[in-house]
A and B are shown apart, each in its own frame.
Chain A
Amino acid sequence: MSGASLSLPLLRLADVHKELGGRAVLRGVDLEVAPGRSLVVIGGSGVGKSVTLKCALGLMRPDSGRIWVAGRDVTGLRGSQRQAVNAKFGMLFQGGALFDSLRIWENVAFRLLYAQKQRRASAREQAIETMRRVRLGPEHADKFPNELSGGMQKRVGLARAIISRPEILFFDEPTTGLDPITADAINDLIVEMVKELGCAAVSITHDMSSAVRIADEIAMLYEGRIIWRGPSAQVYTSGDARVDQFVHGRSQGPIAAIV
């Protein structure tokens, strides 16, 4: 464990700032994730968790600050260089973000079909194999996303993210909108996939039960900065009043509830 955290971070954000809609959303975010480790960023709604993830993924460009992937500065990369970096990533979007005009197997195999230009027959085989790993039967392969339940759509999204063995998996609110039992099953799958692939994971959530299940480490984002980070076991005993208030879900405290 300590050996892993000493090695070079796979992903590193340094002093990332981002203003959106005239508001300074990120005001100097620092984060790093070591290979094979699972980091969960917690924080209230609208605090900028998704924006942090989008900056890390290159979907948004930070106003200032630097981002490194595997030791390489990727902050300003565009086009095919950016695509090469993204080949190391897998991302599970909050709403699933499945392509609704494509069949389930084509969704799962999207990277193989269109980024790697693999043959359809072999891509389909790999898609069905990956679907099996997230416990989706081959009978779903030819359906369209709107024919599946929310939990199954999450599984398809997960399968799509892991099909080409990413080095970093990103999860945006993986359990939001799911019933507790399905949410638990998704948490289990995430832990299992991260272990199986040996990849790093960066998740963002406001669901504490999910956070402690999938995290090695937890970081809390508040007012555009990481105000606390530590091993997941210590999150309930951080000694920081703001973290305490959040993890215990109290409306009274240093963080004002926005209703």
Chain B
Amino acid sequence: MIIVTPLGRATLSILNEMGAAAIFATRVVLAALRPPWFFSQVLRQLVRLGYASLPVIGLTAIFIGGALAVNIYTGGARFNAEQFVPNIVALGISRELGPVLAGLMLAGRVSGGIAAEIGTMRVTEQIDAMTTLSTDPFRFLAAPRLIAVTLCLPLLVLVSDIIGIMGGYLVSVNSLGFNGAIYLRNTLNFIRAEDVVIGLVKAGVFGFIIAIMGAYHGFRSSGGALGVGRAATYAVVSATVLILASNYVITSLWPL
């Protein structure tokens, strides 16, 4: 009993939280699907959350692509399979590392940012003010962020795929002794559309998670600066966990 009671309580509170988040997500999706739409807000968030994330995404991708090439080369050398570097870099980046790393980076940058911004608006009564001005904060604040991030993330992952493969290419050609033309030909011959598609599907799901977790914890925050800080932390942690979990689910359910 001594152990079971707190465990049960924790389980209940997690279930409770997941239920509340699911209801929140449903409400935001409904708000995003029905007019009035605030296109100017969507555009603003596309620039702030999407375009401005390009440097982070690009830097992450190029280093991971490079490190991946070195690792595959080292591992491949043990059974004379060094020539598979281009194939495995392309596969690993497009199916897994591109979307997951982009998702994790944006869980920090975007989900935390959304939670902090909306949380500050909550504790300074800006959200109440918006309601008294006959404007639905779900439509004005949450829906544009959801639309922007869910649309952006697949595009960012596409960029990340290209830069990541380029990172592998640069390392392979400059320090592992590969021929550039052959490396590129191998990459292009090997990679299939579905490898990229699964990555983009993941990216869309991660974008949804990032925006919803940011907005959910932001809207729920209370209690001044402390509450806003907590909202941002919760958003980052929950988005990270959900991204990794959903990544596994999508990977294992995807028809090969």
Contacts and interface: CB of A to CB of B under 8 A. Distances in A.
A95 interface: yes
Interface residues of B, number: 16
Given A95-B124, A97-B124, A98-B126, A59 B133 contact: no
Chain B CB within 10 Å, residue with most, of A83, A91, A97, A100: A97
B133 A97 contact: no
Given A95-B124, A97-B124, A114 B129 contact: no
Interface residues of A, number: 26
Contact of B125 (A79, A83, A90, A95): A95
B129 A93 contact: yes
Contacts, number: 57
B135 A110 contact: yes
Main secondary structure of the interface of A (DSSP, over half): mixed
Interface string A51-85: 00010011100000000000000000001000110
B129 A86 contact: no
A24 to B, nearest CB: 20
B220 to A, nearest CB: 15
Given A83-B136, A91-B132, A111-B135, 19 more contacts: A54-B128, A57-B128, A57-B132, A84-B134, A86-B133, A87-B134, A91-B129, A93-B129, A95-B124, A97-B128, A98-B126, A98-B129, A99-B130, A110-B133, A111-B134, A114-B38, A114-B140, A117-B36, A160-B129
22 contacts: A54-B128, A57-B131, A59-B132, A83-B134, A86-B132, A89-B132, A90-B132, A91-B129, A93-B128, A95-B124, A95-B125, A97-B129, A98-B129, A99-B121, A99-B126, A99-B130, A100-B126, A110-B130, A111-B133, A111-B135, A160-B129, A160-B133
